[in-house]
Chain A
Amino acid sequence: MLPHRSRTSVVLFLAPPLLLFGGGVLLPIVQSLFLSFFQWDGIFPMEFVGLENYRRLLFGDDIFWTAFGNQLLYLVICLVLQVGGGLLVASLLLTITKGREVFKVLYLMPAVISTPAIALLFQRIYGGDGLINTMLSAVGLDALARPWLSDVSTVLAAVSIPEGWRFLGLYTVILYAALLAVPREQEEAAALDGANAWTVFTKIRFPHIMPVFITTMIMATTYALRGFDIPFLLTNGGPGQASELVTTYMYKTAFTSGHYGYASAISVFIVVECLVAVGLILFSLRRKDA
């Protein structure tokens, strides 16, 4: 603490961030909670309905549950590609000696691209005469070719993969930095004792990077639970509800149908979902760690 600080100086420095955070983040959260107890279309007066929105959401809305199931699969695909893939690629990078920095930068490239550009790219990759179908027919697997974005059985995976792909490099970079910090002597001592690469990884490296691994799990999970752009742009939830996520459903409920109260209840659900997920990750991984 500075000896010459005054009350006014603290207030002056604290006011701008509190105003920004309060007005842009905290107040809207409180308002969402408030709105979720009302039925309101933005035009007619608000009508207090108590917990009716939540009752309907949890017990009377099939689309919501479909969307929730889809969001979970989206989450799994993102986690496998981002954290699983990132861990694998980061471990691979450790085995080479030259060019690590260059690879890191190039792997990060997709993270720099805006989602509409990625959506455009993947629209072309998944299309009838797109990259995947062209490659399949090149190796004689024409039977597997299909319009990936309009086939109900593939569309959800098709909209999830771009999101996973996009941030693979991000998690690679973070996990790689953590793996570099693992003490070399421990790895070498274990290798001398005859431990193979897998044992070194599971017994020494992985426990050592556990704190960073927990952080990346939390990051990837909360990002995937709020994932929106790519499914919204590529399919807008379709065909039918095959690629509808909780987030796209909430967006449409609010800004297409104009049910602000019900949409607020869904957005409160998304917040709770994120908090529960973070709690579960901390609970399960920290306990194993101890």
Chain B
Amino acid sequence: MTVLAPTDPSREGQTMTDTAPDASAPRAPRRGRPGSRRPSRLRISQVVSRVLIVCVLILQVYPFLWLLQTSLRDRQDFAASNPFSIPTELTLENFARALEQGSLLRNILNSLIITGGACALLVVCGMAGAYAIQVLGFRGSNLVHGLFLLGIVVPVQVALVPLFIDYSRIGLLDTYVAVMIPLAGFALPMAMFLFLSFFSYIPRELYEAASIDGAGPYRIFFRITMPMSLNTVVTVVMVNAIFIWNDFIFANTFILSDELKTIPLGLQNYIGAMGNTDWTATFAAVSITVTPLLLVFLVLNRAMIYGLESGASKG
């Protein structure tokens, strides 16, 4: 087993699968009953699948670790030695440079405003629409429902040119609202769908009782439906906030001035000129923008995973 190189997962996997049958051989003698070979074969497949699981884990996570490591690395050290080796000393200097050169804080603020605005718009519209369709009910509600479902398959590119023209006509080009509208609009079908499926679980009797007590549609919405759907709101916001926060195509099309640029647009500046000259500061900038979202995700992932699963299995 001394040949094992702990840093090379693929080789580790191979050696382990090669040695596994030998290791289990003493326990399951070859000349035993035919059935006795079964457990050892199972064990091999389990080892193989575990190794594969770890390999995928490395593929999915290593790029970040490398990103973080590079952002903490001394600039000269990074340039001089192998960029993928383990750094000898760590420094926070790159973060200072990243914050100095770009307008990162401004970008973060803009992203917060746009994400907050679009999510608020999305939640209000999604909840109101689902309430009208599911709880109030009206003639033609199936038609409206179908119209919204259509929005799930429509690609966002189709809206770019017309919205660009419309915005420049009414003076909305290069504003926060210009980005919020299509972002919330294209996310609305899915959000409304999650609200619809949740509202269908609220027992009818609850509404009927409230109606008998004299509550109208507004009171019922604000006193019963809205407080009960808090969990769904969290799910809707979690699933969509990530996509809205990371939006590139709408922001890149509708935002022109530097003061309004969001994080993805700010990072884009690094891809060309600055990225090639100062990689460690670039990676520090990427780390600054990635870490908060990642932390939120790691804390609230249950809501997001639930939203993704239910969205796909019921859709």
Contacts and interface: CB of A to CB of B under 8 A. Distances in A.
Interface string B158-178: 111111111000000000000
Interface string B6-17: 000000000000
Interface in B142-159: 144, 147-148, 151, 153-159
B161 A24 contact: no
B313 A177 contact: yes
Contacts of A104: 305
Given A9-B136, A271-B154, A17 B192 contact: yes
Contacts of B185: 20-21, 23-25
B83 A226 contact: no
The secondary structure that dominates the A interface is helix
A96 B160 contact: no
Interface string B54-98: 001101110110110000000000000011100000000000000
A173 B310 CA distance: 11
Interface string B275-315: 10001001100100110011001100100110011001101
Contact of A219 (B151, B211, B312): B312
Given A29-B158, A89-B56, A226-B157, A9 B308 contact: no
B156 A226 contact: yes
Given A134-B84, A212-B312, A216-B312, A121 B67 contact: yes
B59 A165 contact: yes
25 contacts: A2-B135, A2-B207, A4-B217, A16-B124, A18-B129, A21-B147, A24-B159, A24-B186, A25-B182, A28-B162, A31-B165, A42-B165, A92-B49, A95-B46, A108-B301, A109-B294, A112-B246, A113-B246, A113-B294, A114-B264, A115-B246, A131-B66, A177-B309, A251-B160, A254-B160
Contact of A20 (B133, B181, B297, B308): B181
Contacts of B199: none
Contacts of B253: 255
Interface of A: 1-6, 9-10, 13-14, 16-18, 20-21, 23-29, 31-32, 35, 42, 89, 92-93, 95-96, 103-117, 119-121, 123-125, 129-131, 134, 165, 168-170, 173-174, 177-178, 197, 211-212, 215-216, 218-219, 222, 225-226, 228-229, 233, 247, 250-251, 254-255, 260, 263-264, 267-268, 270-271, 274-275, 278
Interface residues of B, number: 98
B125 A16 contact: yes
B162 A32 contact: yes
Interface stretch (B22-30, B227-235, B266-274): B266-274
A109 B158 contact: no
B162 A174 contact: no
B194 interface: no
A114 B248 contact: yes
Contacts of A168: 56, 60
Interface in B118-144: 121, 124-126, 128-129, 131-133, 135-138, 144
Given A17-B126, A109-B61, A114-B289, 11 more contacts: A92-B49, A112-B294, A115-B264, A117-B267, A123-B275, A131-B83, A174-B312, A215-B312, A233-B271, A270-B155, A270-B157
B261 to A, nearest CB: 11
